[in-house]
Amino acid sequence: MPIAMRWFYKAWYRWGTPPWVTGPRTELVHLVEDGTLRPGRAIDLGCGTGANAIYLARHGFDVIGVDYADSAIERARNDADVARVGVDFRVGDVTDMPDVQGPFDLIVDYGTYDDLPDADRPACLAEILRVSTAGTTLLMWCFEREPGGWHWLLGRIFGGDGAVRPGEVREAFEGTFEISKIDGGETGMRTMPTWAAYLMTRRAG
């Protein structure tokens, strides 16, 4: 992850509140409540302030949360203490997690893979494959758009991409995962990318 983007997020979590810090995400809550996702070992990649990880812990999951912004992890640990749940929050890079050992039953990624530069995405995928096994579920939420526009430009300025190209998730993951697009649509802002949520299951072999 580029240094400029690291410091951008660290500062935002330290002195502000990013707009995605809104509590556990809708798709995750629905999948837990309808029984699609059952308690097991889970990891939240790019966990931020930990709302998804804390929600999973409250519902019986054994959870690790990883984020490179130490300021986000500090807030996540504090929120977990307030919620009186145990989550193993760690400062780390999702493209290189030597201290994280799988396999996990559930991998959650809300807006992390799509934020990485193109060059870093294969390493993130390699880590996902390393800590998963046949039957592992991957829930991925991402922005999708063709390159261009201010959202893409902002990502380039800070060293990331900010969105995946339409079809890129399937191209990257379909060789090892069964993929279903479970939600998606417009963001409500003409200049913003569309978004999509994918539910994937790791194939055997």
| pLDDT value, residue 155 | 57
| pLDDT value, residue 94 | 96
Q: How far apart are CA 155 and CA 134, in angstroms?
A: 34
C-beta atoms surrounding 174 within 10 Å: 12
| pLDDT value, residue 118 | 87
Displacement of CA 34 from its chain's centroid (Å): 21
Q: How far apart are CA 25 and CA 110, in angstroms?
A: 9
Residues 6+ apart with CB under 8 A from 12: 18
Cis peptide before 103 (omega within 30 of 0): yes
pLDDT in tens, 153-165: 555 555 556 788 8
In this prediction, the residues of the chain whose per-residue pLDDT falls under 70 are: 1-4, 6-8, 10, 12, 16, 147-161, 187-193
Q: How far apart are CA 131 and CA 205, in angstroms?
A: 15
| pLDDT value, residue 14 | 76
- Residue 91 bridge partners (DSSP): 67
C-beta atoms surrounding 43 within 10 Å: 31
Q: How far apart are CA 151 and CA 158, in angstroms?
A: 11
Q: What is the pTM of this model?
A: 0.89
Tokens of 7: 């410091």
| pLDDT value, residue 188 | 54
| pLDDT value, residue 117 | 86
| pLDDT value, residue 187 | 60
Residue carrying structure tokens 């810090």: 21
DSSP letter string, 89-125 = EEE-BTTB-TT-----SEEEEESSGGGS-GGGHHHHH
Q: How far apart are CA 40 and CA 34, in angstroms?
A: 16
| pLDDT value, residue 102 | 93
| pLDDT value, residue 72 | 92
| pLDDT value, residue 92 | 95
